[in-house]
Amino acid sequence: MQFAPAKRSDISPFEVMQVMAQAAECEARGDHVLHLEVGQPGTPAPRLAREAAKRAIDGQVLGYTLPLGTAALRQRLAQHYRDWYAVDLPAHRIAVTTGSSGGFLLSFLASFSAGDKVLLTDPSYPCYRNILSAIGCEVVRLPAGPETNYQPTVEMLDRVPGLAGAVIASPSNPAGTMMSPAELKDFAVACHERGIRLISDEIYHGLVFDGQADTAARYSESAVVINSFSKYFSMTGWRIGWMVVPDDLVDAVQRLAQNFFISPPGISQVAGLAALDAGEECEANRAIYGRNRQLMLERLPAMGFAKMAPANGAFYIYADVGHWTNDSKAFCSQLLDETGVAITPGLDFDPDRGHRTVRFSYCISQPEIEQALDRLADWLARRAA
């Protein structure tokens, strides 16, 4: 008998995983590696979250919860929308998920049927296209560069006939660019009017350095908003996030969540609830990223990185390296091997043009960023000599 994986599982791996594997090899041979490849804060969950989790381990059963999360967390997240955006949402429209990744699976399955066309722009976070492909959707990728601030536009919606959905992220990964509130409003309203389901990934909200991040929930009742405790709240490993679900999808998302996951992790819901009150600690982390960003924006152009996306939010810098190489993968691999600085080739985010781009992540400590920039400057100077 011959066995083979199902065709639907034939999706791309992450290039960043190969960088991480090479970084581990470098560390095994004794190199000191500076990790600018992963989008993972170097800080732990906020103190309040860790304390709440410790108390819960000792004092609670921590069994299954309701499939869309505990009432306490859903209500607190509804409050979060009042506090951050002055948007009033009923708690029944909040669904707690296993990170935003769980939110993508649930929202894509609830929103789209096999064969549906969903618009994405390149560069973007690779899981959007990979999850959509795995569930049988037709992914339509359009390039978005500096002329549209690396973001999709209403004109792009009209370029593709028969769209069922569109996925956006503001701030985005890898470009760190944002739609202004007016652009977000126009895009969300245009999607709603055309019957296109908008999925708005707002995972980098809170990490904004220039401009204002608004929520699509303000402008569209049919938009799904995805968010997470992973980034601003520094809780990647806790696997906890949430969605704002349109009324017409609440029941579908609930049935999918029951069957796929039973419930989101109980202990992480306790920790997430406490994290929402840890604004001071999260803001202190953001201030570190802000200083790192400043350093990078000052020093990278002087080293020859002439074209970089504006990096208004998130904790990434997406830079063109086309004047040095046509093979960003080899460029990153050589940089890591010779200097211990790990960065990600753009291919994860843009399969067509990412061979000329790289992404720097700057959510580690300031001394580490300074050291990485020193090593990078030396390396580039040696290459040029």
Ligand X SMILES: Cc1ncc(COP(=O)(O)O)c(C=O)c1O
Selected binder of ligand X within 122, 201, 320, 348 (CB under 6 A)? 201
228 binds ligand X (CB under 6 A): yes
- Host H or E run for residue 58: helix 47-59
173 binds ligand X (CB under 6 A): yes
By C-beta, is 220 or 230 nearer to ligand X? 230
Selected binder of ligand X within 49, 169, 300, 319 (CB under 6 A)? 169
- Closest residue to ligand X in the complex (CB): 99
Please state, in angstroms and rounded to a whole number, the distance separating the CA atoms of residues 334 and 324.
Answer: 13
By C-beta, is 149 or 339 nearer to ligand X? 149
Instruction: Select from 106, 133, 61 the least CA-distant residue to 244.
Output: 106
Ramachandran class of 229: left when φ > 0, alpha when ψ lies in -120 to 50, beta otherwise: alpha
Nearest approach in angstroms of CB 297 to ligand X is 20
- What DSSP assignment string belongs to 289-353? HHHHHHHHHHHHHHHT---B----BTTEEEEE-TTT-S-HHHHHHHHHHHH-EE-EEGGGT-TTT
Please, what's the b/e burial string for 315-350 (b: 16 or more CB within 10 A of its CB; e: otherwise)?
bbbbbbbeebbeebbebbbebbeebbbbbbbbbbbb
Q: Name the segment binding ligand X (CB under 6 A); options: 93-101, 215-223, 271-279, 326-334.
A: 93-101
241 binds ligand X (CB under 6 A): yes
Q: Name the segment binding ligand X (CB under 6 A); options: 97-105, 137-145, 180-188, 362-370.
A: 97-105
Instruction: Select from 84, 70, 33 the least CA-distant residue to 215.
Output: 84
Ramachandran class of 83: left when φ > 0, alpha when ψ lies in -120 to 50, beta otherwise: alpha
37 binds ligand X (CB under 6 A): no
Nearest approach in angstroms of CB 230 to ligand X is 3
75 binds ligand X (CB under 6 A): no
Please state, in angstroms and rounded to a whole number, the distance separating the CA atoms of residues 3 and 101.
Answer: 29
Contacts (Cβ under 8 Å, ≥6 apart) of 239: 98, 99, 101, 102, 264, 265, 268
Query: Taking every pair of C-alpha atoms in the chain, what is the biggest distance, in angstroms?
Result: 64
Please state, in angstroms and rounded to a whole number, the distance separating the CA atoms of residues 361 and 38.
Answer: 6
User: Under a CB-based contact definition with an 8 Å cutoff, are residues 355 and 327 in contact?
Assistant: yes
Selected binder of ligand X within 99, 206, 345, 346 (CB under 6 A)? 99
State the number of binding residues for ligand X (CB under 6 A): 13
Nearest approach in angstroms of CB 235 to ligand X is 8
Site residues for ligand X, 208-227, by CB under 6 A, read none
Nearest approach in angstroms of CB 152 to ligand X is 14
Nearest approach in angstroms of CB 226 to ligand X is 7
Site residues for ligand X, 116-145, by CB under 6 A, read 125
Nearest approach in angstroms of CB 234 to ligand X is 11
43 binds ligand X (CB under 6 A): no
Instruction: For 164, list phi and psi in degrees, rounded to 5.
Output: -100, -25
Nearest approach in angstroms of CB 231 to ligand X is 7
Selected binder of ligand X within 37, 39, 288, 308 (CB under 6 A)? 39
Nearest approach in angstroms of CB 265 to ligand X is 13
Nearest approach in angstroms of CB 81 to ligand X is 18
Residues near ligand X (CB under 6 A): 39, 99-101, 125, 169, 173, 201, 203, 228, 230, 236, 241
